[in-house]
Structure 1
Amino acid sequence: MSFTIGVIVISLLSCAFFLGMEAAYLAANKIHVEIEKKQGGLMATVLTRLTQKPSKFIATMLVGYYLSLVVYAIFSANLITSYFYPQFNHFSELPIENLFLIAACSGLIAVFLAKLLPKIIFQIYSNTLLKVFAVPVYICYILLNYITSFITWISKIISRVFFKINNGELQYAFSKVELGDYISEQMDAVDQDQELDSEIQLFQNALEFSEVKAREVMVPRTEITAVELHESPKGLSKLFTSTGYSKILVYKDTIDDIVGYVHSFDLFKKPKGIKNIMMPVEFVPETMLISDVLEVLTKKHKSIAVVLDEYGGTSGIMTVEDIVEELFGEIEDEHDTVELLEEKLSEEEYRFSARLEVDYINETYRLGLPESEHYETLGGMIVSQLEEIPEKGAVVQFDGFQYTIIEVSTTKIEIIHLKVLDQE
């Protein structure tokens, strides 16, 4: 009896092991595996051989699982028969309805203990468990080699003959998502006081680049410098001198009707009016991806675009420099005069300009502020939460942070005092 119980336990553990390793193999971050393979030693050699033929590895795990399942089914059926039906010598002598009952009972146990539970555990800790059990898996891989090779060969013939599928070997390649997950792990592992490697930050920016929309990069409408179409060249020259900009937008009647832009170099032509030197501007919607905006500007040899909201009004502007900064970080020149306040008062208290972007604050100060597609800036986050512009001195608490409004105008929040609350 003890022998039978021992075989049942071992077969259940074997089922859990084989299915779990299959799940771990599929769920593991391929970049982690590739890095382990470059470390050298026994582990690297084993992982290299296991990942050479992914389909054969999976087939090995399935063969091992079904062999273990057959052993479990036979011995568990005999054990149940001896306990509940001692008048029969073997489960094959039982009536058909009793056999179905035994199969159902043993099947439920196998599904829970040898399938659902191990798959969940092995998927959660896939990277670790794949390394821990690499050697035992490789031993099984060798022992079941001939059976697995034969089954794989038969499956390829059936696929080719009946389904016209000329299936080659699966490639053990990593995806963009896995690369992003790996870089995120590296960023989270860096202490708050340590400076993040520029290469890691560049990779992170590059992965997120294809998902960034125009409204996340643009200079907002309230910060646009523009002139009316009938402004004199002399007045325009003074505006160029005071701002230091090389290009200034031109509008007709209101900022919502931008008709072009003027380059400072064209003032040397001594034009009679702005219309004589005005150049057309490109218009893009808020929801357009900046990768597409960059492509449009490059093809049309433009360096500036006006961002439109859903009603056709001016939402902001963006330049090629703004897009490039999403990849390489802020590029400051002698004419970048807008200085946003960001002051660390203590480990738990900060003073920020409401214009600062939430993702920038999270990357720089590791605060974990809530991010959403409904807002980009710190001020936008608070307005989105309150659904109104708060008064000066107002105190707001949510998501483990306290925000005190230091300065506010009639249209927007200016300065915010942020305090990190105790988060249990």
Structure 2
Amino acid sequence: MEIAFVSANKMHIELEKKKEGFRAKILAKLTQKSSKFIATMLVGNNIALVVYSFYMGELLVQQLPIDVLGNFGTLLIHTLLSTIVILVTAEFIPKAIFRIYADEFLKIFTYPAYFFFIIFHFLSDFVNAISDFCLRVLFNTSKDVEQTEFSKAELELYISEQVEKSDENDELDAEIQIFQNALEFNDVKAREVMIPRTEILAVDISESVPNIKKLFIDTGYSKIIVYKNSLDEIVGYVHAFDMFKKPKSLRSILMPVEFIPESMMINEILNVLTKKKKSVAVVLDEYGGTSGLLTVEDIVEELFGEIEDEHDSIALKEEKINDRAFKFSARIEVDYINETFDLKLPEDESYETLGGLVVYHSETIPAEKEIITIDNFQFTILTASSAKIEEIYLKVLDKEE
């Protein structure tokens, strides 16, 4: 039982303890002090071994010819047989099984464990007191303090177990998904979640206020980026609500933006934006040019899932024609396609999207109807402009093709 407790996922144990019911109350009491619980189980285990050895000796004395074997021979056979039986029935097999199915057995044996805990916990308290005294007096140290915090590895293990248990066709529980997103939050860079440069709606600072009002009405956007001369010289943004102030120029209602590098982690960006009370950040490439746009909402989406806004109004196409043919928007991320459709498209830090994959390997922006083969995948460009790819037909080739 102690092996099940040690091997069980600590996060799983804590969640079981929070449930209602008698079993949860017992489990909470058993694991309140893990060292005491393990000590009690070990005391019970050792008592059982002593009792077993005594009765095994009595049985062998009656069955073995002591006159022929002698005391030493009888002791040797007794030791060998007892050791084999103990190793097989009390060590290797049960501990291996309890280690593999730790969470399940911990729940099954909660009641029996509690019964023996009540019987032996006084003895374990006595043994613990002696061991604490020896540690304190002889070795000038003390027992480790109980740790209730969970390591990131334990949390990741619990999440992976929940993902594996969920059926392929079932959506992952929202709380588990948020938990998983939170664990990965510190590893996400700005370029992975930003709005790309080609989709930024922006105007020159010299633009008239009436034209800006009309642009807000036509697009339905709440914010519009403002630049000077080019998109690489962004000076701020204007909010739709500020149009009610009847401004005379854009400069009078211009809101500041934060400038961040592509490689910056989004958790750091969120801290910067909240401290400076800003909601928009301009993502810069290695040459100082505008690479994309990032808002507080985009960062929050990484934790809580999609929040629909003006930039999410156009649905990205993902159509499965058959097991070997698909139609995709070029903006869909490669890792999403691999996970959702069980494909093995090549992934690289140099690109995130399907269009980026094609451009990276072809080293140019392909024209419409152009066919590119990468590994055992054939990409047909369905729609594209001189600046970007819009839609792609993907075919999985046989290795012989």
Asked if TM exceeds 0.5, the reply is: yes
Contact kept in structure 1, 2:371 and 2:379, CA below 8 Å: yes
Q: Deviations over 1:360-400 (max 9, x none)?
A: 5577x46476796824333445666x4746853334456xx
Please state how far the C-alpha of 1:146 moved relative to its aligned partner.
4.4
Letter in 2 for 1:304: V
- 2:72 is the alignment partner of 1:90: yes
Matched with 1:13 is none
Please state how far the C-alpha of 1:178 moved relative to its aligned partner.
4.6
Please state how far the C-alpha of 1:187 moved relative to its aligned partner.
4.5
Give the alignment partner of residue 372 of structure 2, picking from 381, 391, 394: 394
Matched with 1:404 is 379
Letter in 2 for 1:269: P
Matched with 1:256 is 232
- 2:106 is the alignment partner of 1:124: no
- 2:38 is the alignment partner of 1:58: yes
Contact kept in structure 2, 1:362 and 1:368, CA below 8 Å: yes
Measure, in 1, the Cα distance between the counterparts of 2:37 and 2:166: 35
Q: Deviations over 1:397-420 (max 9, x none)?
A: 56xxx5533336466543234567
Contact kept in structure 2, 1:212 and 1:290, CA below 8 Å: yes
Determine helix, strand or coil for the equivalent of 1:343: strand
Measure, in 1, the Cα distance between the counterparts of 2:279 and 2:353: 25
Matched with 1:293 is 269
Measure, in 1, the Cα distance between the counterparts of 2:47 and 2:365: 68
Give the alignment partner of residue 247 of structure 2, picking from 247, 269, 279: 269
Please state how far the C-alpha of 1:119 moved relative to its aligned partner.
6.1
- 2:284 is the alignment partner of 1:321: no
Please state how far the C-alpha of 1:50 moved relative to its aligned partner.
2.8
Please state how far the C-alpha of 1:153 moved relative to its aligned partner.
1.5
Q: Deviations over 1:90-115 (max 9, x none)?
A: 38x99xxxxxxx99xx9999999987
Please state how far the C-alpha of 1:63 moved relative to its aligned partner.
5.0
TM-score by length of 2: 0.69
Contact kept in structure 1, 2:382 and 2:393, CA below 8 Å: no
Give the alignment partner of residue 284 of structure 2, picking from 308, 330, 334: 308
RMSD over aligned Cα, in angstroms? 4.9
Question: In the TM superposition, what are the counterparts of 1:206-355 in structure 2 within 5 Å?
Answer: 206-228=182-204, 231-233=206-208, 237=212, 240=216, 242-264=218-240, 265=242, 268-271=246-249, 275=251, 277-333=253-309, 336-346=312-322, 349-355=325-331
Contact kept in structure 2, 1:390 and 1:405, CA below 8 Å: no
Measure, in 1, the Cα distance between the counterparts of 2:357 and 2:45: 51
Measure, in 2, the Cα distance between the counterparts of 1:203 and 1:380: 29
Q: Are residues 190 and 65 of structure 1, via their aligned partners in 2, closer, same or farther at CA, if it must alter by over 3 Å? A: closer
Structure 1: 5+ residue stretches without partners: 1-20, 95-101
Measure, in 2, the Cα distance between the counterparts of 1:314 and 1:108: 72
Q: Deviations over 1:156-197 (max 9, x none)?
A: 3345555464755554x6566555544554455444544555
Contact kept in structure 2, 1:192 and 1:366, CA below 8 Å: no
Matched with 1:30 is 10
Question: In the TM superposition, what are the counterparts of 1:34-49 in structure 2 within 5 Å?
Answer: 34=14, 36=16, 38=19, 40=21, 44=24, 47-49=27-29
Letter in 1 for 2:248: K
Contact kept in structure 1, 2:365 and 2:387, CA below 8 Å: no
Matched with 1:376 is 352
Q: Deviations over 1:314-354 (max 9, x none)?
A: 22111122223333333334675533212343566542212
Q: Deviations over 1:14-58 (max 9, x none)?
A: xxxxxxx444312312344355553646x5565344323211222
Contact kept in structure 2, 1:53 and 1:170, CA below 8 Å: no
Q: Are residues 60 and 373 of structure 1, via their aligned partners in 2, closer, same or farther at CA, if it must alter by over 3 Å? A: farther
Would you say how many aligned residue pairs link Structure 1 and Structure 2? Answer: 376
Determine helix, strand or coil for the equivalent of 1:292: helix
Measure, in 2, the Cα distance between the counterparts of 1:413 and 1:25: 54
Structure 2: 5+ residue stretches without partners: none
Contact kept in structure 2, 1:159 and 1:167, CA below 8 Å: no
> Identity percentage over the alignment?
52
Measure, in 2, the Cα distance between the counterparts of 1:318 and 1:215: 9
More displaced stretch, 30-39 vs 121-130: 30-39
Measure, in 2, the Cα distance between the counterparts of 1:371 and 1:122: 40
Question: In the TM superposition, what are the counterparts of 1:65-144 in structure 2 within 5 Å?
Answer: 89-90=71-72, 122-134=98-110, 137-138=113-114, 141=117, 144=120
- 2:124 is the alignment partner of 1:148: yes
